[in-house]
Structure 1
Amino acid sequence: MSTTTQSQTTGNEVGNWRAGLVGGIVGAAAMGGLVLAMNAATLAVAIPSLYALAPPPSPGTGLVVHLSHGAVLGVVFAGIVGTFDLDSTAVRIGAGVGWGVATWIGLAALVMPVWLSAVGSPASPPFPNFAPPSLLWHATYGAVLGGVYAVVADQI
């Protein structure tokens, strides 16, 4: 008696997670550059404080955490792109900006102040924290994410 095992690809993948990962990292790097230029304490204290990695201030640690967040959110973005079959570059960039604004509202303005307060961070902002510079940073993240995703999705 013999047993045969077969493997089948169903083609049910939604979005290109690799493109989302790359786009998320590149977008987070672009955003990180703006944050460093405009308010370095956000990257040096607030972001690493989420995981009890600051104080003391550490822009490098903050950047690693920030790039990691960008990568994960980029993979989620890939799922959104795939779910809604967003296939043009302009639409993907627009969706990226929308995703950046959504992360600003949900994560930066609402979750982050509560989280930082809960861990006793010295960089805890008020709740809610709808800071206009942060909106610019997140919209930039999304635009770069969407653009990079559009360019690399068919290549990786």
Structure 2
Amino acid sequence: MSTRATAGGVATEEQPEMMQEVESWQAGVAGGILGAIAFGALMVLVSPGVLTNAIPAMYGLTGGAAGTFIHLSHGAVIGVAFAALLRARPELAETLGRSTAAGAAYGVAVWVVLAVLVMPVWLSAVGFAGAPGLPNISTTSLVGHVIYGLVLGAAYPMLRRRGTMSDAE
């Protein structure tokens, strides 16, 4: 805690900083999980088989619990990669709008690389009978990945700065 001079010349204590920065990777994990929850809600409503069958099949598993856990884990890892991108290009996170737009663009890039190209190859390689063809172009998947990116991009800067309680009153 520091002191400062007042108009009357009496020193008073200043309040400590009320905001504490969290590590960018932590904000990426949390933002990625939040984005994956939003995307997962869409999947439950529109294409539950992806969450209950296709995603767990990538790892030789079955069931909605496994698919949900894997989907959230993927969201966290991909969120860390987003955090690394924003650390390398901090101008993309200067405002909430820029970060949200960067998140949406990131969601499209993730969709192209992972959903359109990698997932169908991976599912075919593990012998999943319902593996989609290559390329796997799905509007629903695109919308889901954009939702993921929007939530991640909006959450990231807010998560980077979180309020803390002061010990001094």
Number of residue-to-residue matches in the alignment: 139
What's the TM-score, normalizing by structure 1? Answer: 0.86
Segments of 5+ residues of structure 1 without an aligned counterpart are 1-14
The aligned counterpart of 2:47 is: 39
Q: Which residue, 69, 75, 79 being the options, matches 1:74?
A: 79
For the pair 1:116 / 2:123, whether they are aligned, the reply is yes
Residues 44-71 of structure 1: per-residue CA shift (max 9 Å, x gap): 00000000002xxx11110100000000
Distance 2:24 2:33 in 1: 14
Larger Rg: 2
| Corresponding residue number in structure 1 for 2:140 | 133
Runs of 4+ in 1 over 4 A off after TM superposition: none
1:99 aligns with 2:106: yes
- Deviation per CA, 1:11-61: give whole Å up to 9, x if none: xxxx7111001000010011001011000000000000000002xxx1111
Q: Secondary structure at the residue paired with 2:127?
A: coil
2:132 matches 1:150: no
TM-superposed deviation, 1:151: 1.1
- For the residues of structure 2 that align with 1:116 and 1:134, how far apart are their CA atoms? 16
Query: 1:50 and 1:92 mapped to 2: Cα distance?
Result: 31
Q: CA deviation at 1:108?
A: 0.4
Question: For residues 80 and 89 of structure 1, what CA distance do their matches in structure 2 show?
Answer: 16
Report the residue type matching 2:44 in the other structure. Answer: L
Q: Of Structure 1 and Structure 2, which has the larger fraction of its residues in strand?
A: 2
Gaps spanning 5+ residues in structure 2: where? 1-22, 164-169
Structure 2 CA distance for aligned equivalents of residues 137 and 130 of structure 1: 13
Q: Structure 2 CA distance, aligned partners of 1:122 and 1:92?
A: 39
Amino acid across the alignment from 1:49: A
Q: Give the structure-2-normalised TM-score.
A: 0.80
Q: Give aligned-pair identity as a percent.
A: 44
Whichever residue aligns with residue 82 of structure 1, its letter is R
Question: Which residue of structure 1 aligns with residue 16 of structure 2?
Answer: none
